[in-house]
Chain A
């Protein structure tokens, strides 16, 4: 066992430490012992000793395995190869205990025993194995009905919030869309053919529990078209303290509906006269603030679907971006033909025009929203205006004059 004075300090705090876990595994796995050693060395040297990528994988797939090597193989032979295996998670991250046991047994046999549940990609991440163990591990996984997730310049494993399985706010079945999208784009998940990564994340409501607006190239966020449903008696019960704020988890005895709810509405579309709550639904931007504070009094409407946004990513060629509305409302019912067709069109436009390592959001910025909409066959809509009045210039195509003359309508 390596001496790890710097890592040992991480065990001294009040929270559970990953160092403690790794030391426990190091008793039976040489790779975990050397992993601690190389981490200590990195803390000391203040540089990483890892390199990632390369040619490792399983036959037929270009995704799901991320090669990892260290630059000090003589010193730490147990992690000379320490490849990552991404296992496609079930939609909503629901497992049976039996499934978890099977996964752990496979990884105990073929890898370091160290898991990341779950990686920010959404997949279950198996951390650390050698090249010769990749095929046997993959064979065992597939025999139990598992598959590898996406990596590299490919469709990444779609992920979703728990949706209708556990949340009454979900405006569509996120788990079903996630599963169907995973099935529909199997070819693109396992065989990288895009300029760079493409992530789809599905949130059931604008609370966006999977943070799709910031983490997914394609963010699918549940929304409603009609009015917020109000139970005025429950509003009065919140105001009177009969219903406790945050289910009793708040230090406050009761909610001040005006100060806590209506005065904090970002579009000021709500009012409360002490007895009755009124909402000007036309001006509501579906931020979920009021519904989140008074879940027993307010509910999303019944005409539900999703808003599609495109383009978020961490800094790569450009700085970080949030997703941009491209379709304000789409009904989300199986088999999701309209959604699948649109995603396919976006892939085609991006693959045709994108540079190496250029995310679709960066391409949209480089070529412009107009080129994007034309390329994928979408109509321009007011909700796509990201920065109103930022650009006073209009550039017209010849066909725009014809469409205007024919009476084109911008708001349908």
Chain B
């Protein structure tokens, strides 16, 4: 059964949180994981759920040879200016 929007946001957040420090996930990895658990989920809803996580600041996009969705963290190379 498809998740509601709020449930979907939390589902994706948990995926990112549980992978933090172990595996970097791309937006498409998240979509595939959602569809595996909930095959009838609308793909567009997944995109907008990720957007909500990014817009709220709970997740951020990072670039390390590819773009990933992660929990905000201190970057090793960034010292305070």
A: residues with CB less than 8 A from B are: 51, 53-57, 59-63, 66-67, 69, 73, 80-81, 130-132, 151-154, 187, 191-196, 351-352, 356-357
Contact = CB atoms under 8 A, between A and B. Distances in A.
5 contacts: A60-B51, A153-B26, A191-B54, A193-B28, A193-B31
Given A60-B51, A195-B26, 14 more contacts: A53-B62, A53-B63, A54-B62, A54-B64, A55-B70, A55-B73, A62-B67, A67-B77, A69-B77, A69-B78, A131-B78, A152-B67, A192-B63, A357-B65
A59 B61 contact: no
Given A152-B66, A196-B66, A191 B26 contact: no
B27 A54 contact: no
Contacts of A194: 28
A69 B77 CA distance: 7
B5 interface: no
B39 interface: no
Contact of B66 (A56, A131, A153, A187): A153
Contact of A53 (B27, B50, B64, B70): B64
Contacts of B26: 153, 192-193, 195, 356
B63 A66 contact: yes
B78 A191 contact: no
Contact of A154 (B54, B60, B67, B79): B67
Query: What does DSSP make chain A's interface, helix, strand, loop or mixed?
Result: loop
Nearest to B55: A60
Contacts of B28: 193-195, 351-352
Which of the listed residues A60, A63, A130, A357 has the most CB atoms from chain B within 10 Å of its own CB?
Answer: A60
B51 A81 contact: no
Interface in B17-42: 26-28, 31
Nearest to B64: A53
Nearest to A61: B61
Contacts of A51: 77
A152 B61 contact: yes
A96 B72 CA distance: 39
A86 to B, nearest CB: 13
Given A55-B62, A153-B67, A192-B61, A62 B79 contact: no
Contacts of B75: 54-56, 67
Contacts of B31: 193
A81 to B, nearest CB: 6
A101 to B, nearest CB: 28
Contacts of B50: 191, 193
A232 to B, nearest CB: 56
A62 B70 CA distance: 11
Q: Which of A66, A81, A132, A192: most chain B CB closer than 10 A?
A: A192
B56 to A, nearest CB: 9
Nearest to A62: B61
A59 B51 CA distance: 11
A194 B66 CA distance: 9
A81 B78 CA distance: 7
B63 A191 contact: no
A80 B65 contact: no
A392 to B, nearest CB: 37
B81 interface: yes
B54 A60 contact: yes
A292 B50 CA distance: 49
Of B27, B47, B61, most buried by chain A (CB within 10 Å of CB) is B61
